[in-house]
Amino acid sequence: MPAEQQSAQPEPQLAQPKPMAAKPQPAEPEQATAAQAAALTSLEVTATQHEQTALKAQDSGVAETATQPGTEQLVGQPVLQQPVSAVPAVTVPPAEETVIKVAQPEPSSPVTAISATAPDSASSAPVAVTTQPAQITTEKKPGFFARLKQGLSKTSQNLGNGLASLFLGKKIDDDLYEELETQLLMADVGVDTSQKLIKQLVQHADRRQLKDADSLYEKLQQEMAELLDVVEQPLQVEHKDGPFVILMVGVNGVGKTTTIGKMAQQFKQQGKSVMLAAGDTFRAAAVEQLQVWGERNQIPVIAQHSGADSASVIFDAYQAAKARKIDVLIADTAGRLQNKAHLMEELKKIVRVMKKIDGAAPHEVMLTLDAGTGQNALSQAKLFHEAVELTGISLTKLDGTAKGGVIFAIADQFKLPIRYIGVGESIDDLRVFNSKDFIRALFNKEF
């Protein structure tokens, strides 16, 4: 029996697996259950992916993809309550659509790239701002008086600053007057003018019983300003019958032709019509230089061949200017030394020829002097004045010399109007002479 029991026991063990193997007979329900489980699993995975994607989208700032309706329905529906027949409705395409929609945050990198380029364009905008060029233009072009002061800086250091240091802390005595005379002579004020100024200072100090050198220095500036006040007479170019004729004279190298060009441009800026006459026929470069000024300013230039008669050239220019109703005719002449008698006679001939056309012509005979020549300018002014009776003076190149004190000697000895002073290369640096501005720039003085 024990053996039979042992042999009988295996049968139920063998029979038990058979029902397990027989269960697959209802194959359709088990297959449906497996398909439903697989579908549910895919739904759970898809829902989990949507939740993770929504969280990532919220972190990256893309809120639209996290709040799509399809995602909310999939996550919010009770998965276990759906029947098996509803499984085919939950298909893969919605998951693919959702995945495609979730992939939209990837274009955020181009968005950030665009926003990154925006600062580049914005940063380039300040570069285009013209703030710095305006400041540079302001620095390169100082004011009217500042340019005058800069042009007279060398003369100011020699005369203005030299006199200021001379009177500083000194007592009034003979030694002071001797030092003052030396300082004036070094600035080319001239012997006669220097002695005249010192004599007036001595008389003033004796009358006032001055003991303070500072007050004497103020008196010296006042006397020097009075010398220049007399010769401050701007040129007036009004003439009713025919053109106003300006005859320019002077030695070679004083800047006569350049002064003509600058004057012509200034007259044109004032609304006047201008014509130039190339009367310097001895130097071919002078004619070319004058023609360059004419082309630059669109001003007609009357010229003839080299070596032609200067009086003939200026005569033709006057006839042309009168026919065209020109306001101002500026005539250049050959540069000549003041000690050349035959050249000075030629100037007299030009004046005679012009007076035959117009009894008042030339209306201005202007002598151009180089301030750097110092006392030699006085001898030039004397001989030219004797030859053609000067009516005005233009003093050039004051910016390149410390001998600007010669202007006081010229004003004192000849009393001729100083029409212009040249203090630089620019057109505006040919200045109509103003005595107060000159003294201010020379002594840093305010009136």
Query: Which H or E run contains 328?
Result: strand 328-331
How many residues would you count in the chain?
447
pLDDT above 70 coverage of the chain, percent: 66
Whether the upstream peptide bond of residue 362 has omega within 30° of 0, thus cis, is yes
Give the least confident one: 95-104, 332-341, 409-418: 95-104
Spatial separation of the C-alpha atoms in residues 309 and 279, rounded to whole Å = 8
**pLDDT > 80? residue 115:** no
Half-sphere exposure of 4 (CA within 13 A, CB side): 1
Listed residue (335, 327, 282) closest to 304, CA to CA: 282
CA 317 to chain centre: 39
Tell the burial category of 422 from Cβ atoms under 10 Å away from its Cβ (0-12, 13-18, 19+): buried
3-class secondary-structure state, position 302 = strand
Spatial separation of the C-alpha atoms in residues 203 and 92, rounded to whole Å = 120
pLDDT digits (tens, 9 = 90+) for 203-256: 988 887 777 888 888 899 999 999 999 999 999 998 788 899 999 999 988 999
Max Cα-Cα span within the chain: 176
pLDDT digits (tens, 9 = 90+) for 45-70: 555 565 565 555 455 443 343 344 44
283: left (phi over 0), alpha (psi -120 to 50) or beta: beta
Q: Is the pTM of this model over 0.85?
A: no
pLDDT digits (tens, 9 = 90+) for 302-334: 999 888 999 999 999 999 999 999 999 999 998
Spatial separation of the C-alpha atoms in residues 430 and 394, rounded to whole Å = 9
Ordered by start, the domain boundaries in the chain are: 2-102
Q: Is the Cβ–Cβ distance between 282 and 305 less than 8 Å?
A: no
Most confident range, picked from 37-46, 100-109, 273-282, 328-337: 273-282
What is the model's pLDDT at position 222?
A: 92
Helices 406-414/191-208 angle, 10° precision: 90
pLDDT digits (tens, 9 = 90+) for 130-182: 445 444 444 455 676 788 888 888 888 878 788 888 888 788 889 999 999 99
